[in-house]
């Protein structure tokens, strides 16, 4: 069995192993990381060989940590990342390069249609009818997108939302409310087979699925990094946030919204951002909490999007794609039956 894991912001970890009578055998660790002293590599290999193949991550990590020499130095990886790679090998997980990817960047859609397309395209990938896909969103009208488990009245000032023309919609993934205006955000979704994140915790998979974005932002001169659990940030502030949903149909939906040129004052009027929520962000103002891409790059939004698409294509060999008429019809049906209904929007009042 073979497993690979690119440590977010770090190095590639590779493992090869066999399973014999329920135990790990012939384990070998490799990668482009740095490790001192040389004897530490064999210490890790010996620590894993013989462990039950159904061991949890904590047991793998503990075995590696205990076996390492006291003066061992690990650069670009950790004992935890080796454990993740082992789990991916045992689960026969895949990598981005194992698939033919498509990039869909279509016309502007209504907020309700955006929610429906996310579910439909993820389900189509899970069913094998669509190739794994990166979709760039375009907004037809302003919206507040709340998480699957959020309370409408706790998160949104409905009077101000109506006053400023913001439609309120609920997505299928968890996480917090997002403030969307055409031209002010960069939003994308990844629809992939579940095998791509097999063996990863949710925390690992968030950073793993957005590594290509960090690469893009760094190429634009932003000192970007991933802040657990689900934030993309820079030294001057938060850039964006991610949410994720793993569908029983065999697919993972991962979507991100990054701020380009957001109206912080308007956002505070429309969203009910509580004091307690803001207290752990080390800031007094919600408007200051979001650090727009425009101020850090000086580039038009369209140019940033094209750079994102080009990076994804160069890393993973993606080709342009489009939403099929059948997918569009399914999404419209979901709007009528689910995302456009009061029952769905107010399922958590």
| pLDDT score recorded for residue 288 | 52
| pLDDT score recorded for residue 286 | 54
Lowest mean pLDDT among 17-26, 151-160, 272-281, 307-316: 272-281
Question: 328 pairs with which residues across the strands?
Answer: none
> At 283, is the pLDDT very low, low, confident or very high (cuts 50, 70, 90)?
very low
Cis before 229? omega within 30: yes
- pLDDT of residue 184 exceeding 60: yes
Q: Are 58 and 95 in contact (CB under 8 A)?
A: no
> What is the Cα–Cα distance from 53 to 86, expressed in whole angstroms?
9
Residue of 132, 133, 61, 77 lying closest to 103 (CA atoms): 133
| pLDDT score recorded for residue 236 | 85
Residue of 226, 203, 199 lying closest to 4 (CA atoms): 199
Quick one: average pLDDT of 320-332? 98
> At 23, is the pLDDT very low, low, confident or very high (cuts 50, 70, 90)?
very high
Residues 6+ apart with CB under 8 A from 18: 1, 24, 25, 26
Q: Are 290 and 237 in contact (CB under 8 A)?
A: yes
> Model-level pTM?
0.90
Q: Average pLDDT of the chain?
A: 93
Q: Are 289 and 215 in contact (CB under 8 A)?
A: no
| pLDDT score recorded for residue 237 | 84
Lowest mean pLDDT among 140-144, 279-283, 303-307, 322-326: 279-283
| Domains by residue range for the chain, with CATH | 2-90 (3.30.390.50), 98-345 (3.30.930.10)
Length in residues, the chain = 349
Q: What are phi and psi of 236, to 5 degrees?
A: -95, 0
Lowest mean pLDDT among 133-137, 198-202, 280-284, 321-325: 280-284
> At 291, is the pLDDT very low, low, confident or very high (cuts 50, 70, 90)?
low
- pLDDT of residue 295 exceeding 50: yes
| pLDDT score recorded for residue 202 | 84
- pLDDT of residue 83 exceeding 90: yes
Strand order, beta sheet including 237-247: 225-227, 231-234, 237-247, 251-259, 185-193, 133-136, 102-105, 319-321
């Amino acid at each position: 069995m073979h497993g690979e894991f690119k440590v977010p912001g770090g190095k590639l970890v590779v493992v090869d192993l066999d399973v014999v009578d329920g135990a790990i055998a012939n384990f070998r660790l490799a990668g482009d990381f740095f490790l001192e002293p040389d004897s530490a590599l064999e210490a890790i290999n010996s620590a894993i060989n013989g462990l039950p193949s159904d061991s949890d991550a904590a047991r793998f990590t503990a075995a590696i940590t205990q076996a390492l020499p006291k003066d061992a130095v690990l650069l670009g990886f950790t004992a935890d990342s080796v454990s993740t790679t082992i789990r991916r090998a045992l689960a026969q997980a895949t990598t981005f390069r194992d698939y033919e990817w498509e990039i869909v960047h279509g016309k502007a859609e209504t907020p309700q249609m955006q929610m429906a397309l996310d579910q439909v395209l993820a389900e189509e990938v899970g069913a094998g009818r669509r190739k794994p896909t990166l979709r760039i969103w375009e907004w037809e009208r302003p919206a507040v997108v709340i998480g699957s488990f959020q309370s409408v009245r706790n998160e949104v000032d409905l009077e101000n939302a109506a006053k400023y023309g913001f439609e309120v919609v609920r997505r299928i993934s968890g996480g917090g409310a997002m403030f969307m205006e055409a031209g002010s955000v960069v939003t994308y979704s990844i629809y992939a087979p579940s095998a791509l994140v097999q063996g990863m915790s949710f925390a690992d998979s968030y950073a793993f699925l957005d590594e290509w974005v960090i690469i893009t932002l760094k190429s634009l001169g932003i000192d970007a990094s991933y802040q657990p659990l689900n934030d993309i940030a820079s030294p001057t502030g938060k850039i964006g946030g991610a949410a994720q949903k793993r569908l029983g149909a065999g697919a993972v939906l991962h979507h991100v919204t990054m701020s380009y040129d957001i109206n912080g004052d308007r956002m505070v009027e429309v969203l009910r951002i509580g004091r307690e929520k803001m207290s752990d962000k080390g800031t007094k103002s919600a408007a200051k909490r979001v650090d727009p891409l425009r101020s850090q790059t000086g580039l038009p939004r369209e140019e940033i999007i094209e750079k994102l698409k080009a990076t994804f294509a160069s890393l993973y060999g993606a080709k342009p794609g489009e939403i099929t008429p059948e997918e569009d019809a399914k999404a419209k049906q979901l709007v009528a039956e689910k995302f456009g209904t009061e029952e769905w929007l107010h399922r958590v009042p």
